[in-house]
Chains A and B, each alone.
Chain A
Amino acid sequence: MAPNPRTKIALVGNPNSGKSSLFNHLTGLNQKIGNFPGVTVDKRSGLCTMPDGSAAEIIDLPGIYSIYPRSLDERIVSEVLLDHHSPNTPDKIVVVADATNLKRGLLLLTQIIDVGLPTILVLNMMDLVAKAGISYDFNTLSRKLGVPVVPINARNGVGLEELKKQLSHHVPAPEKSVFQIWHDAKAPVKEVRNLLEVDNDYEAYLFLEQPQSLTFLPKEKKNIVDEIRERYQFFPGKFQGAETIQRYSFIQDLLNDVTLKSTDHSWKKYSNQIDRILTHKVWGYLIFFGLLFLIFQAIFAWAELPMDFIDAQFANLSKYLKTALPEGPLSRLLAEGVVPGLGGIVIFVPQIAILFAFISILEESGYMARVVFLMDKIMRKFGLNGKSVVPLMSGVACAIPAIMATRTIDNWKERTITILVTPLISCSARLPIFTILIALIVPDEKALGFFNLQGLALMGLYVLGFVAAMVSAWIMKLLIQVKERSYLIMEMPPYRIPKWSNVGYTIIEKTKAFVFEAGKVILAIAIILWVLASYGPGDAIQNARQHVLEESKNMRLTKQGLEDRIAAYKLEHSYAGIIGKAIEPAIRPLGYDWKIGIALITSFAAREVFVGTMATIYSIGSVDDDDDATIKSRMREEVNPETGGPRFSPAVGLSLLVFYTFAMQCMSTIAVVYRETKGWKWPLIQLAYMTILAYLSALIVFQTLS
C-alpha cells in the first residue's frame, strides 16, 4: 500500500473574516512560508494535529471576496481551486465566514461549493452574533447548502475542537450546484468537460470565464479551451454580473429561512465617532503624520541598541574565526566574506521587526483602510494609489518587504509605479553612509541656537528621496500608457483591538521572508565581492607585504599601521582596485577618484558596504576597529593631489550624498523586483533610471559647487 499522504486542508474566506486567527490557532508555531509552484505568491502553511493523532497540512489562502480574482495574490485561490488533479489540490476546504454579516461570505461559499471539492462552512465571530441578538438555524443552513456548518470564535478558540472533529471525518463533496448555468453557456461547458475531463459543470464554466487562472494547464489543453471560447464567442466575464445576482437571490432566500431573529437596522444610525476624528480634514492628517513620526522614531531609536549588539557579535565571531581557524583562503572567505555578509543581513532584523509590528497593528485595528481613504486622492495625482502608502512607509526600513507589500494594489500600472519608485525612499542601509559623510562636510553646530545642523542635513536627504520618488512617479504616470482602469472599492472594516498573537505571527513571517529573500542574494554577492577585493592579476597581492615593507622602511610604522598599509596596497592591486581605476574617467566629473570608485563598485550590490570599503582603502579598517572617529579623521585628512585641499570637500561630500540618495545600489531589491514583476524588463528599467538620475544629480551638484 502506498504511504498515506497527509490530508491537505485549505482555508478560504473574505478579508477580515478572522481567517488568519483561525489559521494561527490551528497551526500554532508550526507554520512555514513557501511558494506555490510557478508563482510568486507566498504560501502560508502549517501542520495541525487532528483528534486521531494524525497531522494535517493547513494552507492559508489569500483573503478573497469572490472566486473571480482581482489582484495577483487573489488569482492563486482560483488556480488552486480549479486544478483538481495536482499534488497541491486540497482534500478539504474550510470556508471561513463572518457570521455577523453572512451575505458576502455566503457568496464566496456558494461559488466554492459549485467547484465541487469537499467543503465545510465555518461561522466565525459567534460572540458578536450573540451580542447582536441574532440566531441562526444551523441545521437548516447545513441541509440547504449541503455542507457541514461549524460555529466558532477564532479569537479565543471556542469551537475549534468540533471543527477538528468534523475535519477528521470523511467530508463528502457537495452534490447540488447553487448556480444554474445559462442556457447559452451549456454547449461550450459540455465541450470543455468532454475534451478536458473536467469533473463538473461549474469548473468547466470557470475554465471559460477565467483564462488567466489556467496556468496549471499544459499548452495544448489551454489552446483547446481558447478555441472553444472563440467558437462560441464566450468572452471572459460575460455572465459574471448575472451570476452574482443569481447567487445573492439564493442567499437572500436562504437567510430568510435560517435567521431566527433579524438584526435591527443599526446601519441607519451609522455614525462612527472614531471615524469622525480619524478621517477629519485636520485631525485625520495630523494623527496620521504623528503616527508616521512615531514609527520612524521607533525604527531608528529603539532599533539602535539591538543593532549595535548584533554588529558587535558578528565582528567578534569574525575575529574569533580568524584566530581559531588555520590560515588559508577558505577560513579567510569565512571570516571576511561570509560572516560579515550574514551580519549585514541580520543587522536589519530589529528595524524590520519594529516596522512590521506597527504596520500589522495598524492593519489589525482597521486603521490602515482609513489611511488609504485619506491618501488616495493625493497619491492618484502622482500615478499611485492610496494603497501605495504602506509600501512607501515600509521603504524607510527596507525596500524588500516594501516591494512585497505592493501585491495588494489591484491596478497593474499603479503597482508597477509603486515598485519603481519605492527604492528612492531612503532606507536604513543608507543611514551609515549619510551619517559619516554629513559628519565630514556639515559642522556640528546649532542653527538659530536650536536645530542641529547635521540633523537638519539628514532630514533634508530623506525629504529629497521622498520628493524624487513622487516626481518620478508623476513622470512615469505620463510615460506608462495602459487602458486598464484603476478602481478603489475597498471594505472599511470596523475598528477592533488588534489580536496580539496575530501581530506576533506577522512579525515572524515578514522577518523570515526578509532574511531568506535578501539573505540569499546578499550572501552570494558578499562572497563575490570578497573574491574581487582579495585577488588580483599577477603576483602583486602575494608580494604586497614585501613591497610595503620596502616602501615604508624609513617610516617607523606601528605594527597595526603596517598591517593596514598592506591591506590598502592589496585592495589597490586587486580586481576591485583595477575596476575602480578603470571607471575613474567616468566618475571624475563627479569629483571622485579611483578610491571612491572602489567603494562604488563594492557597494553596488549593497550600499551599506561603502563605509567598510572606505575604512579598508584608507587603511584603518581592520575588522576589530569599528571606531567611526578613526574612519572620519582619516577621510578628513585625505588630500586631493590636484587641488591640495581635502579630498572630501563639501562639493565631493554633497555629490556623494546625492548619489547614494538616488542610486539603486542594492542587488536584493533588483532580485525582489525581478520576482515580483516576473521578468527582467522592470528591474533593468529601474536600475537604469535610478543610476542615470544619481549620476546626473551628483554631476550637477559637484560642478555647481566646485
Chain B
Amino acid sequence: MAEMKPGEVGIVSGFTDEHLSVKLMEMGCLPGAAVRFNFKAPLGDPICISVSGYELSLRVEEAATISILN
C-alpha cells in the first residue's frame, strides 16, 4: 500500500505483520475492503487513507504492511 499514489484505490488482500494487522482490522481495514490513498503529509509521512467509510492516518511503514490488489 506504501507504493500507491494519491487518488489510487485498491482492495486489501492481506497483511505482512501480524501484530499491526490486529489493530488495522479493528479500525475497519479488513481483507476485502476497498481502500483509497487520499494524500500524504507534507513531509511524505504519515499518509491519509479512506477505508470502510472512515479516514485513517498511518505511517508509511505501517501502510507498507498492508498488501493491496489493484
The chain A residues found within 8 Å of chain B, CB to CB, are: 65-66, 68, 70, 100-101, 103-104, 107, 237, 240-241, 244-245, 248, 263, 267-268, 270, 272, 275-276, 279-281, 284-285, 369, 372-374, 376-378, 386, 485, 487-494
Q: Is the CB of A376 within 8 A of B59?
A: yes
Which of A267, A281, A376, A490 has its CB near the most chain B CB atoms (within 10 A)? A267
In angstroms, Cα B44 to Cα A639, docked, is: 58
Instruction: Give B35-51 as 1s and 0s: 1 = Cβ < 8 Å from A's Cβ atoms.
Output: 01011011111101010
B42 proximity list for chain A (CB < 8 A): 279-281, 284-285, 374
Bound CA span A101–B28, Å: 11
Q: Determine whether the beta carbon of A245 is less than 8 Å from that of B50.
A: no
Apart from A267-B36, A268-B36: 13 A-B pairs, beta carbons within 8 A = A100-B53, A241-B18, A267-B53, A275-B39, A281-B42, A281-B43, A372-B57, A376-B45, A376-B46, A378-B43, A487-B20, A491-B54, A492-B54
* A488 CB contacts on chain B under 8 angstroms: 46, 57-59, 62
- Expressed in whole angstroms, the minimum distance between the Cβ of B29 and any Cβ of chain A is 8
Contacts of B22 in A (CB 8 A): 68, 237, 240-241, 244
Closest to B33 in A: A248
**In contact, A66 and B19 (Cβ under 8 angstroms):** no
Residues of A with C-beta under 8 A to B52: 101, 103-104
15 contacts between A and B (CB under 8 A): A68-B26, A100-B53, A101-B54, A104-B27, A107-B26, A241-B25, A275-B39, A369-B57, A376-B41, A378-B43, A386-B46, A487-B58, A487-B62, A492-B56, A493-B55
- Residues in B neighbouring A386, C-beta threshold 8 A: 46
Assembly CA distance A489 to B59 (angstroms): 7
**Number of B residues, CB within 8 Å of A:** 34
Q: Is the CB of B36 within 8 A of A248?
A: no
Residues in A neighbouring B39, C-beta threshold 8 A: 275-276, 279
Are A374 and B41 neighbours in the complex by a CB distance under 8 Å? yes
Among B26, B41, B58, point to the contact of A244 (Cβ < 8 A). B26
B10 contacts chain A at the CB level, 8 A cutoff: no
Q: Which of A101, A104, A280, A485 contacts B19 (CB 8 A)?
A: A485
Question: Bound state CA distance, A103 and B28, in angstroms?
Answer: 8
Task: Determine the main DSSP class of B at the interface with A.
Answer: mixed
Task: Give the Cβ gap from B52 to chain A, nearest Cβ, in Å.
Answer: 6
B24 within 8 A of A: yes
B9 at the interface (CB under 8 A from A): yes
**Contact of A66 (CB < 8 Å), options: B18, B26, B30, B44:** B26
> With a CB–CB cut-off of 8 A, which chain B residues contact A68?
22, 26
A268–B52 CA distance with the chains assembled, in angstroms = 11
Q: A245-B30, A279-B42 are in contact. Are A487 and B23 (CB under 8 A)?
A: yes
Q: Which residues of B contact A493 (CB under 8 A)?
A: 55
Q: How far is the CB of B55 from chain A (nearest CB, A)?
A: 4
**6 closest Cβ pairs, A-B complex:** A281-B42, A492-B55, A101-B53, A377-B43, A244-B25, A66-B26
Q: Are A248 and B48 in contact (CB under 8 A)?
A: no
Q: Is the CB of A377 within 8 A of B46?
A: yes
Whether the pair B56, A268 counts as a contact (CB closer than 8 A) is: no
Report whether B59 and A248 are in contact in the complex, using a CB–CB cutoff of 8 Å.
Answer: no
* Interface contact B21-A270, CB-CB below 8 Å: no
Task: Please give, as numbers and ranges, the residues of chain A lying within 8 Å of B41 by CB-CB distance.
Answer: 279, 373-374, 376-377
A107 CA to B25 CA in the complex, in Å?
Answer: 10
The docked-state distance in angstroms from the alpha carbon of A120 to that of B70 is: 40
Q: In the complex, which residues of chain A have a beta carbon less than 8 angstroms from the beta carbon of B36?
A: 267-268, 270
How distant is the Cα of A6 from the Cα of B54 in the complex, in angstroms?
A: 38
Please determine whether A103 and B48 come into contact, CB atoms closer than 8 angstroms: no
Q: How far is the CA of A458 from the CA of B42 in the complex (A)?
A: 31
Bound complex: CA A281 to CA B43 (Å)? 8
B57 touches A373 (CB 8 A): yes
- State in angstroms the CA–CA spacing of A372 and B20 once bound together: 20
How far does the alpha carbon of A490 sit from the alpha carbon of B48 in the complex, in Å? 9
Q: Which residue of A lies closest to B25 (CB)?
A: A244
A377 touches B48 (CB 8 A): no
Question: Which residue on A lies nearest to B19, using beta carbons?
Answer: A485
Q: How far is the CB of B48 from chain A (nearest CB, A)?
A: 6
Q: Complex: how many Å from CA A230 to CA B48?
A: 40
> Of all chain A residues, which has the CB nearest B43?
A377
